[in-house]
Amino acid sequence: METQIQKRIEPTFSDSFGHGWYTMGKYFLVLLLLVIILGLVTFPAQFVRINIDNDTFHWLGKVKDYIGLGGIAVLGVFAIIMGIFAFFYMLLVVPVIKFGADLMFVHGARGIRPQFETLVKGFTENYLHIILASLLRIALIMLGMILLLVPGIIVACRLAFVSYLVMDRKLDPIIAVEESWRLTRGHGWTIFGMAIVSFFIFIAGFIMFFVGVLPATIWVKSSFASLYEAVITEKNGAAVVAEG
């Protein structure tokens, strides 16, 4: 019989990363497959990134010599269609998968084995709230960045729980933003510090022949999910998660 040990989680930097590490070890294969799927899901969005410079025009000139102006026109139309597809894909599909993945990491932090049905649950449940919450969060962060860099960072930290709240508590976008702002009060520096350390964790993952990015992603996402779980239970006492 599997022994269950109760571990207290406080909403602190060390407890979040510590429990995130434990969660990664406990559900490693499930979460590894999850981050691979996330990578594949976000890959088509790269079509919207078009870098136009002198080399681009030089390349187009060479292509024109082989396929003519008609061929260039066809390529242009194709690129526009792919760009439109990627835009709407990023707008209407990717947020649902990302929000579902966040809920899977929360389940892992709670000691519940993540189920892949959760990844696509947003398409049939709460879809509009997910899309609107994603847009609202991006808009608020961009507004903060436009005003000044520091306000943008503050807004990003204070809205860190929006996706969790939309998926976990089924909140509508505006209430999720307000609730995230309330819950993160007093934890902004913790979230900011975790974000800085996460950056270096990803760098270390890249140094390890890129393969290390996968466990780095699992650890970081599990840690933020652990912080969320600890914060929402803070008013009722320290978060308690079954281990074993």
Whole-prediction pTM: 0.84
Mean pLDDT of 21-26: 97
pLDDT at 28 over 50: yes
pLDDT of residue 29: 97
In the chain, where the domains are located = 7-48+88-236
pLDDT of residue 81: 84
The CA-atom distances, in angstroms, between 89 and each of 33, 49, 99, 103 are 21, 14, 15, 21
pLDDT of residue 62: 53
The CA-atom distances, in angstroms, between 58 and each of 48, 61, 70, 75, 173 are 21, 5, 18, 16, 46
105 three-class SS: helix
pLDDT tens digits for 163-189? 999 999 999 999 999 999 999 999 999
Mean pLDDT of 7-33: 94
- Residue-averaged pLDDT of the chain: 85
pLDDT at 7 over 80: no
Going along 92-175, which residue ranges are E strands? none
How far is the first Cα of the chain from the last one, in angstroms, to the nearest whole number? 10
